[in-house]
Structure 1
């Protein structure tokens, strides 16, 4: 028979923000979460990584090695990995799109590049085509992907040959990890429904078809596009349209609350049930740690040596934002903040 304490632990969910190649900070954050929760409670909890494991920091390869080992050391089904826009670009570039049949995409991948774009992407032909975000990722500047190449010992020079060099350097376990990444994770708990997605849900798109397409990892679903741009998946890449709480997730009286949890935005905010966990923006520094949030208690844990434990007891009062914050919070049409 399950004890009440064990049952409570199984109800907990830990959402971990963008890691961006920062292995030492990721390891310290994990130790701090364990210190905050206790090893047994962390083992029993559901852990959701919110995406963006690569680029910017010095050790993309080390981060993916660590995540694979962490996943394999935990109970099956307790650890989930979302695709961030950086990871999606990396996966697209090496031919491991996070879709059910990466070598049989449901649309012509070359059509995902707007024909008006004439620069700012890796331009070479690829058999079977390449999603535009893969080409954009390999341009280097936008995604700071040169650090990912370096972590695999591959020279970033913008050449046709660098793709083959990277494909050969990335181990099978990493390719498998990238291909299996989820686009959304939903969890039902006694204390509410939790939707985790890298950037957020597109307020301009109805909730039900959007969630269905994210679960199906459907590249061809127009409800996921940023406007009419098939080359940008809003839930991974956008800012203004996905930052607020989706109005259809707002709880009705008597229903369990719904939470929407993301990283991506370069700040941390705990406004109501819309949680954004990304104080570092991939560039951790004093006062800008990599962070996680423990639910339902809303405890924020950082990668600082002390853990920087902070708990938001008033869901209506956001914490102060640090450097690198995004534009002021927006409300979706029809949504009251």
Structure 2
């Protein structure tokens, strides 16, 4: 049977549209601001007919300023609908914690204390009474605009020969039928799949020291919260390149 999928080398974005697909931010407002400043300068100096900035999720946890990241993304998406923000598993985990303060969930075990601190709230996950009190304080501190923004995030976007999501897809399932949980969480079944997909999948979720460019997918999660490097895939027609913003200078 002939594989009908598309290879990265052959993939192209829509004619006249430049796309910046940005990896996991995890509270690094400084890198997010640097990325947007670079993109804005590039768009002004070399304007395409159209453009999109697609953020691939995981805006909160681990890094120091989740609140600032959400404030910025709310503002830039309000200002220009060509900035697209997709959901990550940590973003959903934050909402889950606000609904129910579990001491054992994703938020508690994967950097949620940093998110809470960005809102001025210290959490103690080991003391049930203190956790209940901290949760109540966090609920008061998080603006409804942040909750509405996170709750309204889409799970995927598609342009040209590229499909964008946070974690990846389940191979063999049509792109339009993907389960949101897979789009947020999948790893091994997707990462280890050797075949081509109907479109090249651009994702984050699984951090690497360097962006991972494969025949069937591109992973732009370079662990910004610890590495100090935020990475994007830039697609301009058939041209593709990697853009990295570092806290040590681009």
TM exceeding 0.5: yes
Residue 239 of structure 2 corresponds to residue 291 of structure 1: no
Once the two structures are TM-superposed, the CA of residue 305 in structure 1 deviates from its matched residue by: 6.6
Report how many residues are paired. 228
Unaligned 5+ segments in structure 1 are 1-6, 96-109, 111-120, 124-134, 218-232, 251-257, 309-337
* Aligned partners of 1:50 and 1:197 also within 8 Å: yes
Q: 1:307/1:8 Cα in 2 relative to 1: closer, same or farther (>3 Å)?
A: farther
Once the two structures are TM-superposed, the CA of residue 164 in structure 1 deviates from its matched residue by: 2.0
> 162, 182, 190: which is aligned to 1:234?
182
SS at match of 1:47: strand
Once the two structures are TM-superposed, the CA of residue 197 in structure 1 deviates from its matched residue by: 1.0
Unaligned 5+ segments in structure 2 are 1-13, 126-130
Matches within 5 A, 1:256-295: 258-267=199-208, 268-285=211-228, 289-295=229-235
Greater helix content: 2
* Aligned partners of 2:196 and 2:216 also within 8 Å: no
- Per the normalisation by structure 1, the TM-score is 0.61
- Per the normalisation by structure 2, the TM-score is 0.81
SS at match of 2:226: coil
Once the two structures are TM-superposed, the CA of residue 196 in structure 1 deviates from its matched residue by: 0.7
* Aligned partners of 1:235 and 1:242 also within 8 Å: no
Cα deviations by residue, 1:200-248 (Å, 9 ceiling, x for unpaired)? 1123xx312x63354xx5xxxxxxxxxxxxxxx2332232122246846
Cα deviations by residue, 1:282-330 (Å, 9 ceiling, x for unpaired)? 3233xxx11111114222111127975xxxxxxxxxxxxxxxxxxxxxx
Q: 1:260/1:213 Cα in 2 relative to 1: closer, same or farther (>3 Å)?
A: closer
* Aligned partners of 1:244 and 1:274 also within 8 Å: no
Counterpart CA distance in 2 for 1:307 and 1:94 is 36
> 94, 97, 119: which is aligned to 1:93?
97
Greater relative contact order (CA < 8 Å, ≥ 6 in sequence): 2
